[in-house]
Amino acid sequence: MSLVANVGLAVRAVRLKFRLLTAYDTFWPAAARGSRLLLSGRVSTFTRKLFNELPDARDAVPVEATRTGPPLFLAGHVLGLGGYDHLVLNILKGLTDAGVKVCRDRRACFRKQLVPIQLRPVEMRRRANHFRLAVAPPHLLRRYRPDRKTAAFTMWETDTLPEGSVEQLNRCGLVIVPSSWGRRCFRANGVRVPIEVVPLGYDPNTFNRGPEVESADPLRRWGRRANLTCTFGTAGALDEGGLRKNVQRVIDLFQREFPNERDVRLRVKITPNSPRVDTHGDARVEVLDTHLTPAELAEWYRSLNAFVNASAGEGFGLHLLEAMACGVPLISSRFGGVGSFFDARAGYEVRSRPCRADNAIYQGTWSDPDNNDIMASLRGIYRDGETARLTGIAAAERAQKFRWEDTTRRLVVALIQNGFIQPVA
């Protein structure tokens, strides 16, 4: 490769690095870390981090505009496997499969290794008459400079939207939320533009009960009469907004309810950047702090007798729906978006009381799940694995109403009815 080509590749890598850092407002913290590396003489480490986007930079050829029809620009990031990134990727796939000419908004960042080449959006410049779909939390919509031709797909975890987000939402021509609870909260906060409800979904090819579970003797997985271990699980990304997940509370309640029993376990899934949880030296509490592929996550769900959700609030709760699809009953309240797909017929419903959210991220009201109800549900599943198994089957049947193909269908209808895309012939 020539010197000019190498220089061009390096420039593209640095530009991509800058875009990725600014995507989530992490440029200045990264700049501070880089400065410390240089001042300490760790030049090689600084250089490696500066150019670590070289794989994507090499694959910089734009997708040819072979798709036909009016463009719909997609504004949202695909930089990881979870959260809004997961939603953006599935919306991209659904709209592309539906025949929509999806184009990348210039402010959106995609890691190409996460987006199959056949799904990569067309690269072209957005004009004033082009419609756009922005997928982001309410307080981050400002990054895309919303206008009347922007539809915002968003959600929030309390009944009070972040400061300044209502103004950004009212700049849009359409707002899409995943639950009726969310629509009521957005209206109460002063959002005046049209609001459509489009529930999220799951991939049934990945998240399912599994053939080995369908045909297995129930006692092999669920019955303590077979001297097997009863395994609970909980999960959450505990960095940034993760304080609402209450993972530590689940650990503490588990240990209070089962102080001495040896045939019970709690599996805790957190992300690598999460603050550490305190297991109090309990070998029965297994902590997994790594990223899992969707297939690996489904296997993790299927290893559980029940999933314990003590979260203070969920805009929807996609991970809970995925657990249900794997035949795992929930221990959860119905507060927030969770009530869209969960009730006592598909799990162990716990009571909750309204409480104030007052921290750097959240304001307003969310929920405080009842500790006694959580512990009683833990004990009930431990004692009666067969009922839990049957409840898990009911949960999987309920989840079948919320697949990604259903999300895409409802999204396309909402966009057509509000004039953002034309019906596909």
pLDDT tens profile 347-370 = 999 999 999 998 888 999 999 999
Q: Phi first, then psi: what are they for 273, rounded to 5°?
A: -90, 0
pTM for the model stands at 0.86
pLDDT grade for 3, boundaries at 50, 70 and 90: low
Q: Tell me, what's the pLDDT at 41?
A: 76
pLDDT grade for 25, boundaries at 50, 70 and 90: low
Q: Where in the chain is the domain with CATH 3.40.50.2000?
A: 211-402
Residues in the chain: 425
Q: Tell me, what's the pLDDT at 35?
A: 74
The answer on pLDDT for 37 being more than 80 is no
* Residue 237 neighbours by CB under 8 Å, 6+ apart: 82, 83, 245, 270, 271, 273, 274
Average pLDDT in the chain: 87
- The mean pLDDT value for 399-423 works out to 96
DSSP state of 424: P
Q: For residues 319 and 294, is the Cβ–Cβ distance under 8 A?
A: no
> Yes or no: is domain 71-201 CATH 3.40.50.11930?
yes
Q: For residues 41 and 32, is the Cβ–Cβ distance under 8 A?
A: no
- The mean pLDDT value for 231-249 works out to 81
Q: Report the distance separating Cα 351 and Cα 115, nearest Å.
A: 40
Q: Helix, strand, or coil here: 128?
A: coil
Q: Tell me, what's the pLDDT at 239?
A: 57
Return the closest-CA partner of residue 109 out of 200, 21, 241. 21
pLDDT grade for 307, boundaries at 50, 70 and 90: very high
Place of tokens 């922007």: 150
Q: Tell me, what's the pLDDT at 33?
A: 66
In this structure, the dihedral spanned by the alpha carbons of residues 330, 333, 338 and 343, taken in order and rounded to 10 degrees, is 70
The answer on pLDDT for 225 being more than 60 is no
Q: Phi first, then psi: what are they for 235, rounded to 5°?
A: -155, 160
The answer on pLDDT for 79 being more than 90 is no
Q: Tell me, what's the pLDDT at 80?
A: 82
* Residue 89 neighbours by CB under 8 Å, 6+ apart: 78, 114, 115, 119
The answer on pLDDT for 172 being more than 80 is yes
Q: Tell me, what's the pLDDT at 121?
A: 93
Count Cα neighbours of 305 within 13 Å in the Cβ-side half-sphere.
Answer: 28
Q: Tell me, what's the pLDDT at 217?
A: 42
- The mean pLDDT value for 309-313 works out to 96
Of the candidate CATH numbers 3.30.1490.270, 2.60.300.12, 3.30.70.360, 3.40.50.2000, the domain formed by 211-402 belongs to 3.40.50.2000
Q: Where in the chain is the domain with CATH 3.40.50.11930?
A: 71-201
- The mean pLDDT value for 300-308 works out to 97
* Residue 321 neighbours by CB under 8 Å, 6+ apart: 200, 201, 202, 341, 399, 402
In tens, the pLDDT along 175-185 reads 999 999 999 99
DSSP state of 227: T
Return the closest-CA partner of residue 406 out of 186, 86, 90. 90
